[in-house]
């Protein structure tokens, strides 16, 4: 017959074993990386731009420059250092990757793969699958473009533009462009101006006009750029069609890894090469954009989803990963910097990871799957269509221009 002390001992042992199990390290199961291309040359120029001649840009307009080539190559090495042990143990090295149709994203992912795989026998160009629907914002979708047009006609947007009216007129005088006549693309075209000047002034250190170096003008253009990204991608309908296919692909693969026994020894690293606008709409759709300061993502940065397994449960860790220059070194080396992203009301498990040295909140896979399900179109082409009554000839013209502008400048 067991004494009371025996029961107490068994109880303490049970609690101890429970606590040990709770403290087991979560095991990595898969990695999904939505990465932006490397540093590039400008995609457009203003009428009075002294550097609009293509002779200033030998790489070509809107193409990777030397800094972009170097950053993407080193990104591959840094990711290899981070995940090689896991991929060797699971035999999960990538078989294919996906990219947008733009040359700079294709070049970027190929540079990344060459460093990441360190295998000269692999033809990395054959690994790249192009996907415009998933990794650009240019795939034809009437309903998304209509929702975008309606929002840019709203009081929210027009009030903001009116509040900046004098500043925009000043920019028109200096640049020779007529931004206020370019509805509904006023903010997007001003963002193109701001980005071009950032590249010319801050990255290439060209002798831009004095007005473009003035702090008040820089602050104005920064605010206009910030709101262009904020307004463009905050509309739920736009988010559903512009990032839904990507989220659907990621969650579908996660489900297969968890539920299909035959998934062992298959790919565990999934790479998507895309643009800052796609990353921004992804972050906004998950309510995470404010956690990176409501500012567009940096070159070669990534939104990373890591799938973990712990005690019969699966969890998703979300990161914003940048590849900045190491300020302590003078020889152009880059480092990997992770910022944990916490999805609201999805804090199901906490763990401290080596890369951040902070306690991070992970989202249970079940909750993550439920959250994403409502953001993924079931029949993309059918849901994108609108009736002729809803979609006027004017809207068709807007659709064409939206697609053209986005294609040229992403």
- DSSP assignment of 242-268: HHHHHHHHHHHHHHHHHH-GGGTTS--
d(CA 302, CA 118): 21
Element (H, E) at 305: strand 302-310
Q: What is the DSSP letter of 199?
A: I
Strand 359-364 versus strand 128-130 pairing type:
unpaired
Q: Residue 102, SS3?
A: coil
User: How many CB atoms sit inside 10 A of residue 153's CB?
Assistant: 12
Q: What is the DSSP letter of 165?
A: H
User: Taking a C-beta distance cutoff of 8 angstroms, is the pair 145, 155 a contact?
Assistant: no
Strand 269-274 versus strand 27-36 pairing type:
parallel
pLDDT of residue 17: 37
Q: Where are the alpha helices (DSSP H) in 91-185?
A: 103-117, 132-135, 142-152, 155-163, 165-175
d(CA 194, CA 295): 13
pLDDT under 50: residue ranges of the chain: 2, 7-21, 389, 391, 393-394, 396, 400, 403, 407
pLDDT of residue 396: 47
**Residue pLDDT, tens place only, 208-243:** 999 999 999 999 999 999 999 999 999 999 999 999
Closest CA to 409 of 261, 202, 171, 187: 187
**Residue pLDDT, tens place only, 158-172:** 999 999 999 999 999
Closest CA to 107 of 124, 90, 86: 124
What's the Rg (C-alpha) of the chain?
A: 24
Output the pTM of the full model: 0.90
* Through-space distance between the first and last CA atoms of the chain, rounded to whole angstroms: 76
Q: What is the DSSP letter of 298?
A: P
Residue spans of the domains in the chain: they are 24-311+375-410
Closest CA to 232 of 194, 275, 188, 193: 188
Strand 313-322 versus strand 349-352 pairing type:
unpaired
Q: Residue 176, SS3?
A: coil
User: Taking a C-beta distance cutoff of 8 angstroms, is the pair 241, 137 a contact?
Assistant: no
pLDDT of residue 406: 52
Element (H, E) at 321: strand 313-322
User: Taking a C-beta distance cutoff of 8 angstroms, is the pair 378, 372 a contact?
Assistant: no
pLDDT of residue 401: 53
d(CA 124, CA 145): 35
Longest CA–CA span in the chain (Å) reads 96
| Alpha carbon of residue 93 to chain centroid | 22
d(CA 409, CA 62): 8
User: How many CB atoms sit inside 10 A of residue 208's CB?
Assistant: 17
Q: Which residues contact 212 (CB under 8 A, 6 or more apart)?
A: 174, 197, 200, 201, 218
Architecture of domain 24-311+375-410: 3-Layer(aba) Sandwich (3.40)
pLDDT of residue 382: 95
* Sign of the alpha-carbon torsion through 45, 48, 52, 56: negative
């Amino acid at each position: 017959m067991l004494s009371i002390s025996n029961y107490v001992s068994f109880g303490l042992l049970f609690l101890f074993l429970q606590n040990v199990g709770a403290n087991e390290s979560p095991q990595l199961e898969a990695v999904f990386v939505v990465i932006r291309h490397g540093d590039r040359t400008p995609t457009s120029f203003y009428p009075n731009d002294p550097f609009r001649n293509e002779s200033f840009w030998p790489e070509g307009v809107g193409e990777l420059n030397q800094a972009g080539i170097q950053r993407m190559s080193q990104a591959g090495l840094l990711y290899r250092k981070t995940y090689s042990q896991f991929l060797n143990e699971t035999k999960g090295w990538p078989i294919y990757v996906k990219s947008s149709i733009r040359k700079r994203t294709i070049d970027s992912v190929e540079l990344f793969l060459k460093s990441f795989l360190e295998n000269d026998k692999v033809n990395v160009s054959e690994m790249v699958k192009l996907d415009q629907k998933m990794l650009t914002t240019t795939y034809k979708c009437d309903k998304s473009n209509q929702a975008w047009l309606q929002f840019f006609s709203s009081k929210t947007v027009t009030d903001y533009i009116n509040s900046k009216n004098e500043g925009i007129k000043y920019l028109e005088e200096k640049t020779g462009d007529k931004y206020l006549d370019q509805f509904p693309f006023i903010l997007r075209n001003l963002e193109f101006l701001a980005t071009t000047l950032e590249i010319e002034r801050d990255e290439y250190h060209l002798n831009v006009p004095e007005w473009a170096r003035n702090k008040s003008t820089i602050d104005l253009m920064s605010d206009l750029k910030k709101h262009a990204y904020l307004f463009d991608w905050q509309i739920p309908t736009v988010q559903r069609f512009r990032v839904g296919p990507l989220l659907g692909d990621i969650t579908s693969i996660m489900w297969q890894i968890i539920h299909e026994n035959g998934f062992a020894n298959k790919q565990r690293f999934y790479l998507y090469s895309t643009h800052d606008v796609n990353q921004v709409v992804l972050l906004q759709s998950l309510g995470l954009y404010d956690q990176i300061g409501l500012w567009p993502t940096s070159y070669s940065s990534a939104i990373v989803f890591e799938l973990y397994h712990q005690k019969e449960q699966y969890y998703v860790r979300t990161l914003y990963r940048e590849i900045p220059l190491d300020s302590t070194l003078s020889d152009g080396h880059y480092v990997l910097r992770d910022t944990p992203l916490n999805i609201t009301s999805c804090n199901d498990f906490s763990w401290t990871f080596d890369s951040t040295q902070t306690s991070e909140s992970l989202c249970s896979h079940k909750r993550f799957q439920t959250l994403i399900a409502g953001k993924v179109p079931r029949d993309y082409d059918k849901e994108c269509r609108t009736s002729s009554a809803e979609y006027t000839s004017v809207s068709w013209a807007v659709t064409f221009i939206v697609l053209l502008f986005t294609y040229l400048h992403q």
